[in-house]
Amino acid sequence: MNTTLWVIAGVLALLFLAAGLMKISQPRAKLAASGMAWTADFSPGAVKTVGAVEVLGAVGLIVPAALGVAPALAAWAAFGLAATMLGATALHLRRKEAAALPVALLLLALTAVVAWGRFGPYAF
């Protein structure tokens, strides 16, 4: 199961890193035009903050545990990303964006599994 958690955390880290860097590096209007319509409801700073949270969460999933420096931070990063995806799910439900819900729910489930594993039976 530990290997499974590492694989899930690695995939999540890549996905959140890519999504976060995109939100940080591109203007809000371009993000909205590319399918992230929710960005139109938020300030550019808020969108960049979400991106920064995703990047930090991606780094936190892997780096502390891989380096053996404060490895418990990996569990907290997974918990933080799960909370982020819970917020994303609520946002997409409120905006009636049915197409975005499956991805948000899948990421919520995967981050919750990693958090459960790293806080519980497979903690570092």
Separation CA 35–CA 59 (nearest Å): 25
For residue 27 the two structure tokens come to 């203007």
Cβ(96)–Cβ(59) below 8 Å: no
CA angle, 100 then 101 then 106, to 5° = 110
Separation CA 16–CA 33 (nearest Å): 20
pLDDT tens sequence for the chain (124 residues): 899 999 999 999 999 999 999 999 999 999 999 989 999 999 999 999 999 999 999 999 999 999 999 999 999 999 999 999 999 999 999 999 999 999 999 999 999 999 999 999 888 8
Separation CA 28–CA 67 (nearest Å): 35
What pTM, to 2 d.p., does this model score?
A: 0.93
